[in-house]
Amino acid sequence: MSDRKSLIDLGQLPTRNLAECLAVDQAALVNALTGQLPSTLVEHLAASADQAQALGLSKKVAAIGLALGKWLEQAPESLRQQVFEQCCTHPSDTVRSWAAFAQAFLSRSLPAEDALLAQFRFARDEHFGVREWAWIALRPRLAQHLEAALALLGRHTGDADPLVRRFCIEILRPRGVWCEHIAALKQQPEVAEPLLVPLLAEAEKYAQDSVANWLNDASKTRPDWVLQLFQRHPPACKASQRIQTRATRSLPQ
């Protein structure tokens, strides 16, 4: 085992790429938290990591994050806040990813907007992986109430932070990566136009890619709609031209 891999599994270094994310020994990482977090929590997380050992990465992170959320929910408020903050600011991106799922669990009975605002903390994380888990954790809830979710997300597409704008698009991609597809959006993507159209000239490439990928997803079931969208909103700048090119990459040229 390399020194770098050992330090990642000890929670002392963040991962640098997807390969390193996939290689994290999450059970070892949980055990490395002994002395940092309450012993009862470490035991609880260790049991979850053991049960999830045979699962893929997304289900494993979600399972441990859910275990964290359940423990936090039962903890006294002062301890809950302290431990949650420790996890949210931990050097390990994997630990912060667990916290993203824990937050979604803890927010489950809050109004959708409050849950969304709480998740933005993770959407703004410096690590690419945490930013992905941020939306994956909340997606199932929003996907159950699409009309309300689209309206809610649309109120934040003008946010000054491109990471937030990106989150608002990525979370309801019809064919989101590492999560269940949203059949309604694959068949009727036009309901998302109020969310997407204001960002057809998005200036930041990171958010541009989410807009383009959303439309590319839709093009696989509704190519007619994607083509008509660009006929109605023709690219008028370099940013919008880039989005169109990437959005139609799966269509015959």
pLDDT tens string 152-198 = 999 999 999 999 999 999 999 999 888 999 999 999 999 999 999 99
Q: 15: which 2 tokens?
A: 């991962």
- The pLDDT tens digits of the residues spanning 205-245 come to 999 999 999 999 999 999 999 999 999 999 999 999 999 99
Checking if the pLDDT of 1 tops 70, the result is: no
**Which neighbouring-strand residues pair with 34?**
37
Residue 34 DSSP class: B
**Single-letter residue type at 95:** V
**Single-letter residue type at 8:** I
Residue 55 DSSP class: S
Query: Which residues contact residue 232 at a Cβ distance below 8 angstroms, ignoring those fewer than 6 apart?
Result: none
Phi, psi at 246, each rounded to 5°: -75, -35
Checking if the pLDDT of 117 tops 90, the result is: yes
The confidence score (pLDDT) of residue 176 equals: 84
Nearest C-alpha neighbor of 125 from the set 137, 143, 114: 137
- The pLDDT tens digits of the residues spanning 57-102 come to 999 999 999 999 999 999 999 999 999 999 999 999 999 999 999 9
Nearest C-alpha neighbor of 216 from the set 168, 165, 170, 151: 170
Checking if the pLDDT of 203 tops 70, the result is: yes
Rounded to whole angstroms, the Cα distance separating 29 from 155 reads: 38
